[in-house]
Amino acid sequence: MTRAHIVGAAGYAALEAIRLLRAHPAIELATVESASHAGEPVGDHAPALRSFERTFAAPGSALDACETGDVVILGGRAEESRGLAGAFLAKGARVVDLSDAFRPQRSAVDGVAAVYGFVERYRDALRAARLVANPGCYPTATLLALWPLAEFAAGIEQLIVDAKSGVTGAGRTPRASSLFAEVDGDVRAYGLDGHRHQPEIEQEMAAFGVVAPLTFTPHVVPLRRGMLVDAYAVFARAPRATDVRAAYARRYASSPFVRLLGEEAPSLHAVAGTNGAELHVSVRGNVVRALCAIDNLGKGAAGQAVQALNVMLGLPEETALAGEALAV
């Protein structure tokens, strides 16, 4: 069994990682650490984990307990991850960071370069990774929607992404904009002057060879969890629909969590509580429309982190992630 430590474990994504790893046959949950809730029962902060009879450990506990061969999930803020990752790597652990600390330009820590945790593209690199920068939820859904179009990169003139996220995407730190009374009954666009995830999306699209300008508009919708991305690639000349469809089928032929739909639209109910992604692609004139639905805490955060860990440990990607959707 590989031991796993979770630092910053009281956030939404980290609690979801605990839920998933409890059922993992090859990973043993070791330290579950939280600076804000040290000494408190984990179940008091997550009803789904009330049967998990553990308390949050104090800061520093995970580092003290860490040994060579362990894995660590960092679930705190970026500045905390920058300070901790090197210490865990020095102990011989492998680290998956849920923040955006190491996503830009493949940051390195003490000579250890971060591998971007978009598993569908970087499987080979993840097998030997020691530090993984887990993608954000908006970039994950957007890249899943647009990555296959790398085969047609030269013809793309404009990318337009309309994205909608449940309120858990804003994290668990209390703020007025995330209150029920603020979001209920509303669909709110934000980050219109530049969202923090846009550079991450542009960086990865450029790595795919797609350098067309991107217009990205994120929205908060009155849902706990879930994300729907409507992505549009505007071409100089219309690509053939059969070629586009074939490109998506090739890209995701070996991806167990990506479902390429036919005429149906992706559904948040179909992916709730899972690591799944539903995709629909169509061509209308010179525009390719790609829709992607994921769970922002699943494939958009904790599920993807566990998927990356499975690859790093040489396990089937589906291990502990094959559950059915929570919604009916």
Catalytic residues: 137
Q: 323 φ, ψ to 5°? A: -70, 160
Identity of the residue numbered 111: G
Q: What angle do CA 258, 260, 261 make, to 5 degrees?
A: 135
How many whole angstroms separate alpha carbon 33 and alpha carbon 74? 10
Direct distance between the N- and C-terminal alpha carbons of the chain, in angstroms, rounded to an integer? 34
Q: How far is CA 138 from CA 48, 231, 294, 322, in A?
A: 25, 11, 10, 22
Report the interhelical angle of 303-312 vs 12-21 (nearest 10°).
Answer: 50
Pairing relationship of beta strands 214-220 and 115-116 according to DSSP bridges:
unpaired
By residue count, the chain amounts to: 328
Q: Which H or E run includes 164? A: strand 156-165
DSSP string, 63-125: HHH--TT-EEEE-S-HHHHHHHHHHHHHTT-EEEE-SSTTTGGG-EETTEEPEE--HHHHHHH
Secondary structure letter of residue 136 according to DSSP: P
Q: How far is CA 253 from CA 120, 250, 258, in A?
A: 10, 5, 9
